[in-house]
Amino acid sequence: MRHPLEFDKPHRRERRHRRFDLQFPVSLNFSSGGAVRELAGLSRNVSIGGLLLKVNDPVPVRTQVNLTMAVHDPRLRRPVQLLGKGAVVRVERLESEAGFTIAIECKRPITEIDEHLPATG
């Protein structure tokens, strides 16, 4: 059995969803050692089925995570918050800079947070 922080070698798989090169702040929440941890990252690419993040600390493969992505764009009237739940499927140490990339596969498509909040007024 592999160690949970063992880094996978780069590999190529057929993609199920179209990916977009988007760099937005992402907050991860996950259980680790009986406590809930929060880790900030930056998306590198995003699809409705998952995303690739740059983070400072590794997260073990198969860790279940909740994520919130803050989408800011001058064309939007307000920032959009996207929510997702999934599992870490790959962890790689960055060679040219400090940190790691982690790939997260979402259990269901990433959705806008407004769908989960009750309407007011």
**pLDDT for 13:** 52
> Is the overall model pTM greater than 0.95, yes or no?
no
Q: Nearest Cα to 30, choosing from 20, 22, 21, 40?
A: 40
Domain ranges of the chain: 25-115
Q: What would the pLDDT profile of 41-61 be if each residue is shown by its tens digit?
A: 999 998 888 899 999 999 999
The CATH code of domain 25-115 reads 2.30.110.10
DSSP string, 28-87: EEEEETTEEEEEEEEEEEEETTEEEEEESS---TT-EEEEEEEE--TTSSS-EEEEEEEE
pLDDT of 40 reads: 97
